Amino acid sequence: MKYRPKHVAEYISLRAVAFLLSLLPYRGALLLAWILARLAYPFIGRKRREAVRRIRLVMGETYPPKAARRDAWLSFRNTAFTAAEMIYLSRHPTLPVPVKLDAALAKFRAHAEAHPGLGGIFACPHTGNWELAGIVAPQCGVNMFTITRDQKNPLVSRWLRQLRHAGELELLFKGEPNLLRKVLSNLRKGKYLAMMPDLRSKTPGVPVRIFGGVANTYPGLGEFSVQAKVPVFLAIMRRDGWTRHTMTLLGPWTPDPAADKKAEASRLLQQVMDEIDRTVRATPSQWFWYNSRWLLDPLPETPPSPSAAD
């Protein structure tokens, strides 16, 4: 396969930074990530201003601009830290600092013991180091899988796939044959599907209320839960300082088999989004405000189809 020069340049640049990070101890890797983030931050003016606008839109007009700018910087810095930690974990089996998840794990195990053989869905929003949720859960004995998609750059896509997903995590790919059947089969076998719910769908999906507006979101979370008759959990990651991580597990929310399936799928998705709304408002600096699929962006307009007369 031939690669475009742009793809090769991006890949080489990323691998060069990753190589430098891999030579450092954990805190040194974070320090280098902080320095690179601080150097890059002045050059992302449009994205930075958009992040501040989003924060003030969600938090309200009375939210101080200074606080919004601080949240925007911490969100950007945390994203750099997350990337550094994923690179570090590619060379080391665990972080040198513990991830606090005893309470979350106890809650999950109590549910699993009460419902043996029943799978479920882990909704993992972009908070804290969200990538850790998909790494520590399999290490704690949770049989997980996820649905992923390739990036536009095939070189970067293949490398990121190795970084982001633990060997214990089964990968399914969007667009592959019989995807729905495979997802439902896994859920009914007692596996847990990790999903990121806080993304806008580019095509008509499910409208949900969040951040004082209406977002067009992917229907999969609610529909999988209803069709497979499995519960939904919300796994929220939080970063305190540079190196401390905590996972909080909310739910489970269980589908009502007697309810209308479409309405029940929407209810479950709305329940998850309500909790994400509360979490983001309580700790705005923990969320990723730079996502290109910003929840409150409108659907792109579809050009009208030409009439027969044309």
How confident is the model at residue 150, as a pLDDT?
66
* Tens-digit pLDDT profile for residues 81-100: 998 998 888 777 778 888 89
pLDDT of residue 305: 47
Q: Which amino acid is at 174?
A: K
Spatial distance between the Cα atoms of 122 and 250, rounded to a whole number of angstroms: 10
What pLDDT digit, counting tens, does each position of 154-173 carry?
666 676 666 665 556 777 88
Q: Give the per-residue pLDDT at 195.
A: 93
Mean residue pLDDT across the chain = 88
Residue 194 pairs in a beta bridge with 122, 146
Q: How far apart are CA 206 and CA 217, in angstroms?
A: 5
User: In this structure, what token pair is assigned to residue 202?
Assistant: 């580019």
Q: Enumerate the domain spans of the chain.
A: 5-286
CB-CB contact of 121 with 241 (8 Å): no
Structural tokens at position 68: 């919004």
Considering just the CA atoms, what is the radius of gyration of the chain in Å?
20
Tens of pLDDT along 24-41? 899 999 999 999 999 999
Q: Closest Cα to residue 199, out of 128, 275, 75, 297?
A: 297
- In this predicted structure, what is the pLDDT of residue 164? 61
Please spell the DSSP secondary structure of 83-116, one letter per residue.
Answer: HHHHHHHTTSSS-SS-EE-HHHHHHHHHHHHHST
Using the predicted structure, report yes or no on whether residue 309 has a pLDDT greater than 70: no
DSSP result, 219-244: SHHHHHHHHHT--EEEEEEEEETTTE
* Cα dist from 189 to 66, 91, 144, 268, whole Å: 50, 32, 11, 21
- Other CB atoms within a 10 A radius of the CB of residue 143 amount to 16
- CA–CA distances in Å: residue 128 to residues 43, 99, 221, 291: 24, 12, 21, 14
Contact (Cβ atoms closer than 8 angstroms) between residue 251 and residue 104: no
| More confident: 90 or 69 | 69
Using 50, 70 and 90 to split pLDDT, how confident is the model at 217? very high
Q: What's the pLDDT at 45?
A: 95
Give mean pLDDT, residues 296-302: 78
For a pLDDT cut of 90, what percent of the chain falls above it? 60
Name residue 244's beta-bridge partners: 240
Instruction: Kindly report the length of the chain.
Output: 310
Q: CA-to-CA distance for 273 and 18, rounded, in angstroms?
A: 34
Q: What is the pLDDT of residue 43?
A: 96
How does DSSP classify residue 194?
Answer: E
Question: What is the distance between the alpha carbons of residues 306 and 288, in angstroms, rounded to a whole number?
Answer: 40
Average pLDDT over residues 109-127: 92
Cβ 78 vs Cβ 292: under 8 Å? no
> What distance separates the 2 farthest-apart alpha carbons in the chain?
69
